[in-house]
Amino acid sequence: MKVALTGASGFIGSHILTELHEHGHEVTALVRDDTQADIVKARGATPVVIDLYDRPAVAALLTTADGAIHTASPGDATSADLDSAVVDAVTGAFAGTGKPYLHISGVWIYGDNTSITEDSPFHAPALVSWKEQIERRMLGETGMRGAVIVSSVAYGDGGGAIPGLLLGSPRDDAGNLVMLGTGQQHWSTVHVADVADAFRRVLEHGTARGYYVIGNGVNPTVAEVTEAAAVAAGAPGAVPGSGDEARARLGDYFAEVLLLNQGMDAARARTELGWQPSHPTLADEFRHGSYRK
């Protein structure tokens, strides 16, 4: 397939690019500048420098694509505007074609829930409360095959914002990493290469549509992953923090999502797509893998 991909130089997007390229798909990467163009070209994509807010230009480019994947995000207050602009362009270009459009989301939209499925109600904290409206609007377009890939906390290959946050945790007087909150909350996690595999499977599956939640089913506690991060960071161990400490360190909105208690097993993806996570857990990556110094 000829696939248009946003965010191809980012953590998840770059792995999707590699996955698609390795499975014979032609990828056109929509990038914002020449620096990003050089990066994605070296990874096998055809770069196009474009403003993702330019709906007519994006829609025109998409007319030559067999499908599209959106993973780009500024990670700030403009994220909702960017997602909305891309969805507008895609729905305009793909209306009535039946072409697939895959839109990235994140597990935080479900709030506190240790048994998350695609049918779970949304209880999105403020940081991600804008996502549902845009995703529902896109999925409501019946003339194309829309899918929302809901990623758990992604890690692997030494990257990812949340693993980096754990490795850079403040330390107590003995040098131990301070956990986010008490550490008893669970996180749903997934290796970034397994996320990329899920995207490819949804793209290639002719009837896959709607929400797919993606997590490896391990659902470790924050205590477990911070203790493992201590090994990678050369710290003697990890100690519990508190909600107040997390909020003071990261701000109310960001702390709120990291204090959520979540879990899933991604049953739909396993059953419908044949998806099986095959990479080490986050704790194993910290202790023995790509995050070791």
Length of the chain: 293
Query: Hey, what amino acid is at 183?
Result: G
Task: Kindly report the three-state secondary structure assignment for every residue of 120-144.
Answer: CCCCCCHHHCCHHHHHHHHHCCCCC
Q: What is the pLDDT of residues 175-184, one digit of tens each?
A: 999 999 999 9
Q: What is the pLDDT of residues 114-158, one digit of tens each?
A: 999 999 999 999 999 999 999 999 999 989 999 999 999 999 999
Write down the pLDDT at residue 42: 97
CA nearest neighbour of 62 among 33, 94, 108, 103: 94
CA nearest neighbour of 165 among 149, 184, 148, 187: 187
Q: Which residues of the chain have pLDDT under 70?
A: none
Write down the pLDDT at residue 293: 72
Spatial separation of the C-alpha atoms in residues 60 and 37, rounded to whole Å: 19
Spatial separation of the C-alpha atoms in residues 282 and 220, rounded to whole Å: 9
Q: What angle do CA 219, 221, 223 make, to 5 degrees?
A: 155
Write down the pLDDT at residue 54: 97
Task: Kindly report the three-state secondary structure assignment for every residue of 157-189.
Answer: CCECHHHHHHHCCCECCCCCEECCCCCCCECCE
Helix (H, G, I), strand (E, B) or coil at 224: helix
